[in-house]
Structure 1
């Protein structure tokens, strides 16, 4: 847990120092909020899960032309092979987005928590880490991310373990507020 706290502290320091620099460099930029609604689908990399489907909402504050801070929440459902009980969770994440090239491609990192809503079979909550890359033009946002849920159950070499990994695709519609 100490290592996770150190990683989170470094992430916060990096984010806030970059925000300060971006604000100094872009005093003429009109900062604004964006809002997005997305559909997520994914491929879990661990057993017993076979597919992930969900949706999310994202608020984004544009600090400058190239830097943004995000807050994302939604609902995801992991479907289990062999008709086992599905696993639903609510992700709550904060992130830092950097636009590249012509401000259409971006790289983003998110950290937060995943809260189980399937309490009968899965009672734990988890830390959540998500690096992603994407393309956002006008009101369309398409991204691919790697998502790691540190404390959620999975099966490794036939033995129950923790640490669910998955690759997710997000298709979203966004607009200015």
Structure 2
């Protein structure tokens, strides 16, 4: 079932990838996003962790003023409750964002694989991270729901907020 969601997600984005074949990378359409996140684990994760902090790193390309795709990674550190060790999540994902205006509301999601660190008998699983937020030329502020369907029926979820700064190519 997880593989089905992944394939449907990729097929849903295929018309976007097929629209433009001549790609010019400029400071106006491509940049890095670097920032931090903070969240509260929910679901299975709330049994073993009470808080998470993370780093967010993205490379973005704008097809037009409203549609962007890119790659996303980073690290989310889950602080273990008493009797549980800390653990982490390293996502490797593609992302899609829709910007309604040059400044203002955006919707987006990441889709990929989340690698778990410091978790025995579990390498990770399907990763999804929908977001809603505010953006301008330099900053992005957003709320997110992060879910990783990992091996051995582990459903790792968190809700939180993040902020990223746009680092423009020159």
TM-score by length of 2: 0.84
Q: Extract unaligned runs of 5+ from structure 1.
A: 25-29, 154-160
1:65–1:103 Cα contact (<8 Å) kept:
no
1:10 equivalent among 8, 11, 16: 8
Task: With the length of structure 1 as denominator, give the TM-score of the two structures.
Answer: 0.81
Q: Is the 8 A contact 2:117 2:123 kept in 1?
A: no
1:5-84 to 2 correspondences below 5 Å? 5-21=3-19, 23=20, 32-45=29-42, 46-84=46-84
Gap runs ≥5 in structure 2: none
User: Aligned partners of 1:93, 1:5: CA distance in 2, in Å?
Assistant: 15
1:167 correspondence with 2:159:
yes
Shift of 1:32: 2.2
Computing the radius of gyration from Cα coordinates, the structure with the larger value is 1
* Count of residues in Structure 1 that have an aligned counterpart in Structure 2: 162
User: What is the SS of the residue equivalent to 2:2?
Assistant: helix
Cα–Cα, structure 1 residues 55 and 122, in superposed 2: closer, same or farther, change >3 Å?
farther
Structure 1 vs Structure 2 CA RMSD: 2.3
Deviation >4 Å, runs of 4+: none
